[in-house]
Structure 1
Amino acid sequence: MLTENRLKKAINDGKLALGMVNALPLPVMVEMVGYAGYDFIVIDQSRVGVGPEGLENLIRAAECANITPLVRVPSSAPEVILRALDAGAQGIFVPRVRSREEAQAVVRAARFHPHGARGLSDGRLNGFGRMALSEFVPRANRQLLVGVSIEDRDGVDAVDSIVTVDGLDLVMDEAVSLSHAYGVPGRLDHPDVQAAIRKVASACQRNGVWYCATPRLPGEAERWFREGAAALLLGDDRNVAFRALQAHVGNVRLELTNE
């Protein structure tokens, strides 16, 4: 059944929401992220092979752990967005948006009438008919989070028009992709990359669209908080797990070496 979007509530209440990318598509990993205290999880269907049944099970795990499930869909095709939302996602974000028209198409595919043209039928979110569609549609429009990411020069150039699209809630940080687009792969501190990030974040703030930043260097989380980011994406579960395992075995080896 449709529940309150905890991510939207946290942001509307003035709290900085903290999230994690799910790169290990295992329900138990989603549960662990939720029980660890994160506010939202981004199920990365764009980069990780997750089929329809697998996606539903990841979303069920998020529901059990009381963490907001967002899905990074692989494209802006209406049928792709619809499948993610019908599976139970409380928000979607579409990568590589380059124009106002593309952002409008995303909103149109994700939202119900009168804000969009999303397909409508009984399903998981209205309890397979327990909630009347006339009640479900306005509630779903209120609870849904619609986001995009800007990953290249065209998107950065068009950001001022993209963020004025009615029904767009959030823009996601994609600094790594931007570094590649600006010809300096992986150099996230490069002036051109930093300027692009600043331009996107500033456009969001001027137009009342939330910006989700990804702190990668010491002190960046606090800086983004001061500068008004609505949410922080704290890496992905695969890398966090690897670093934790690496540190764990390293500490034991160091202890044994010192004895």
Structure 2
Amino acid sequence: MTPSQLGAALHDGQPVFGTLIVSPSPRWPDTVRGCGLDFVFIDTEHIALDREQLSWMCQTYLAMGLPPLVRIPSPDPYAATMVLDGGAAGIIAPYVESAAQVQALRGAVKVRPLKGRRLDTILAGGTCEPELQSYMAAGAQNRLLIINIESVPAIAALDEILAVPGIDAVLIGPHDLTCSLGVPEQYDHPDFLAACETIFTKARAAGIGAGIHFWGSVEQHARFLKLGATMLIHSADISLFQKHLRLELAAVKNLAGLATASASVETVTI
């Protein structure tokens, strides 16, 4: 997939699948190839990656046809510009709670390369020369803007957020959202599931992607799709390694007749 193809899929409601990539190892891209992914998610909010590592990862996955979506540390338009300059196909902005934040991010992602007063004029509804407008619109198709919805105030402001032009998808941050709802890490709680369905439904009604990053069971993942999700970020490389190593070592020890501790899996929450 190219970034523009991923963007079209999000707006068309076509299900797309990714995973969180934590490792910057040069062996990892070839390992990920052929796993059925449409894109990769790289998180600089919670993962320690320097700018050079991030740029290498972005450009490598992009060349492989797996558009890299990078979560920036905060909803900062300057941070968005930096990762796009490094090769990201799109940005994910964390913990957004207002349309004003989205408007500023729109300027960084969709109205490049304008800055300063000229950018402020365009964001306020002004116009520009037709040639410049065509140039910016063509570039915007290859830069995706995805907004994390992770709190009760964000849900309350969702209609205003979705009214900002240029958004390609919203993405639920389930850990933060359950905490904001007062039911921390209760991912089967009716209040959390109802909130997810509300977010998915409103996103799809607005003609954009409805996403969630989740690390639980395959049954829970399938339930999110049934609730209306069209963008599923499945687990993370570090979580999948932890899960399968524990299970396989427990199985080996069991077959060898060795006493084993419980092989229950504790996932890494990001």
TM above 0.5, yes or no, is yes
Structure 1 unpaired stretches of 5+: 120-132
Name the residue aligned to 1:28: 27
Q: Within 5 Å, which residues of 2 pair with 1:71-220?
A: 71-112=70-111, 117=114, 137-214=136-213, 216-220=216-220
Q: Provide the C-alpha distance between the structure 2 equivalents of 1:141 and 1:22, rounded to a whole number of angstroms.
A: 25
What is the CA-CA distance between 1:11 and the residue it aligns to? 4.0
Q: Provide the C-alpha distance between the structure 2 equivalents of 1:20 and 1:118, rounded to a whole number of angstroms.
A: 33
Q: Provide the C-alpha distance between the structure 2 equivalents of 1:11 and 1:201, rounded to a whole number of angstroms.
A: 12
- Aligned amino acid, residue 73 of structure 1: I
Q: Secondary structure at the match of 2:147?
A: strand
- Aligned amino acid, residue 176 of structure 2: S
Conserved? CA contact 1:111–1:117, under 8 Å: no
Structure 2 unpaired stretches of 5+: 117-131, 259-270
What is the CA-CA distance between 1:136 and the residue it aligns to? 6.3
Name the residue aligned to 1:46: 45
Conserved? CA contact 1:110–1:117, under 8 Å: no
- How many residue pairs align between the two structures? 241
Conserved? CA contact 2:11–2:208, under 8 Å: no
- Structure 1 pair 117/153, CA: closer, same or farther in 2 (3 Å)? farther
- Structure 1 pair 174/203, CA: closer, same or farther in 2 (3 Å)? same
Conserved? CA contact 2:201–2:228, under 8 Å: no
- Structure 1 pair 70/4, CA: closer, same or farther in 2 (3 Å)? closer
Q: Secondary structure at the match of 1:61?
A: helix
Name the residue aligned to 1:249: 249
Q: Provide the C-alpha distance between the structure 2 equivalents of 1:174 and 1:135, rounded to a whole number of angstroms.
A: 34
Q: Provide the C-alpha distance between the structure 2 equivalents of 1:23 and 1:118, rounded to a whole number of angstroms.
A: 32
RMSD over aligned CA atoms reads: 2.5
Name the residue aligned to 1:233: 233
- Structure 1 pair 135/154, CA: closer, same or farther in 2 (3 Å)? closer
What is the CA-CA distance between 1:35 and the residue it aligns to? 3.4
Per-residue displacement from partner, 1:144-167 (whole Å, max 9, x unpaired)?
210010111111111111112100
Per-residue displacement from partner, 1:12-62 (whole Å, max 9, x unpaired)?
666421100122333433442233221111110111111110111111221
What is the CA-CA distance between 1:228 and the residue it aligns to? 3.8
Q: Provide the C-alpha distance between the structure 2 equivalents of 1:31 and 1:106, rounded to a whole number of angstroms.
A: 32
Conserved? CA contact 1:93–1:149, under 8 Å: yes
What is the CA-CA distance between 1:142 and the residue it aligns to? 1.2
Conserved? CA contact 2:174–2:212, under 8 Å: no
Q: Provide the C-alpha distance between the structure 2 equivalents of 1:11 and 1:101, rounded to a whole number of angstroms.
A: 23
Conserved? CA contact 1:153–1:181, under 8 Å: yes
Conserved? CA contact 2:170–2:211, under 8 Å: yes
Q: Provide the C-alpha distance between the structure 1 equivalents of 2:108 and 2:18, rounded to a whole number of angstroms.
A: 24
Conserved? CA contact 2:170–2:209, under 8 Å: yes
Q: Provide the C-alpha distance between the structure 1 equivalents of 2:3 and 2:181, rounded to a whole number of angstroms.
A: 39
Conserved? CA contact 2:13–2:208, under 8 Å: no
Q: Provide the C-alpha distance between the structure 1 equivalents of 2:12 and 2:161, rounded to a whole number of angstroms.
A: 25
Conserved? CA contact 1:97–1:155, under 8 Å: yes
TM-score of the two chains, using structure 2 as the length reference: 0.79
- Structure 1 pair 32/219, CA: closer, same or farther in 2 (3 Å)? same
Instruction: Give the fraction of aligned pairs with identical amino acids, expressed as a percent.
Output: 27
Q: Provide the C-alpha distance between the structure 1 equivalents of 2:53 and 2:90, rounded to a whole number of angstroms.
A: 17
